[in-house]
């Protein structure tokens, strides 16, 4: 598995991955109506390219195939964080988050945060994120329960024992 910066050639695979993950993984926590509002179609490359202008986007690839992606903003916000439905619980999300944490610390960011869906909340909790607020958001006419989760990052130097 390798984690890379997103390239234009990755966008079509990201679009399919997003749609398929919502329809096959998130379906366990959301109604058909909510899933249809969340990911009604496979979005065009132009949609994603425009969206990605606001983020650094990382992809996880296995043998050249995109199996995960995440959007990361200079504020510490993590948006879209998805792992291919056939690659769930195989360390893809952990590697992706580790890369984001590394990039954050390298950029002087000490706090990560995300609006997390019901499905992803246990993963983020296991990775040290805490819920700071539960809220509901209406998206395309459907009500979604979300969690604002955040994690304070510890600088690697702060864990060093001096004088040893």
Cross-strand pairs, 151: 112
For residue 87, the model assigns a pLDDT of 94
**Three-class SS of residue 15?**
helix
Q: Looking at the chain, how many residues does it have?
A: 164
Q: Is domain 2-113 annotated with CATH 3.40.630.30?
A: yes
Segment 12-49, tens digit of pLDDT: 999 999 999 999 999 999 999 999 999 989 888 899 99
| Residue 10 CA: distances (Å) to CA of 14, 57, 75, 81, 140 | 6, 10, 24, 15, 27
Phi, psi of 27 (to 5 degrees): -60, -20
Average pLDDT over residues 95-108: 94
Cross-strand pairs, 137: 144
**Three-class SS of residue 111?**
strand
Segment 112-151, tens digit of pLDDT: 999 999 999 999 999 999 999 999 999 999 999 999 999 9
For residue 156, the model assigns a pLDDT of 54
**Three-class SS of residue 94?**
helix
CB 144 within 8 A of CB 135: no
CB 37 within 8 A of CB 26: no
- Dmax (CA) of the chain: 60
CB 15 within 8 A of CB 44: yes
CA distance 87 to 102: 22
Segment 149-162, tens digit of pLDDT: 999 998 654 443 43
- Pairwise pLDDT comparison (160 vs 72), residue with the higher score: 72
Total Cβ atoms within 10 A of residue 108: 8
Tell me, what DSSP letter sits at residue 57? E
For residue 155, the model assigns a pLDDT of 67
| Residue 101 CA: distances (Å) to CA of 55, 76, 105, 128 | 15, 9, 6, 12
């Amino acid at each position: 598995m390798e984690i890379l910066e997103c390239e234009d050639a990755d966008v079509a695979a990201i679009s399919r991955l997003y749609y398929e993950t919502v329809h096959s993984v998130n379906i366990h926590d959301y109604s058909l109506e909510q899933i249809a509002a969340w990911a009604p179609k496979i979005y065009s490359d132009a949609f994603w390219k425009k969206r990605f202008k606001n983020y650094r986007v990382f992809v996880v690839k296995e043998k050249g195939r995109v199996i995960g992606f995440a959007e990361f903003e200079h504020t510490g916000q993590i948006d879209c964080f998805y792992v291919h439905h056939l690659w769930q619980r195989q360390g893809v999300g952990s590697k992706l988050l580790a890369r984001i944490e590394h990039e954050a610390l390298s950029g002087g960011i000490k706090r990560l945060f995300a609006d997390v869906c019901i499905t992803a909340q246990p993963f983020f909790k296991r990775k040290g994120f805490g819920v700071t607020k539960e809220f509901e958001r209406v998206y395309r006419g459907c009500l979604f329960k979300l969690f604002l989760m955040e994690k304070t990052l510890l600088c690697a130097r702060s864990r060093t024992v001096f004088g040893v």
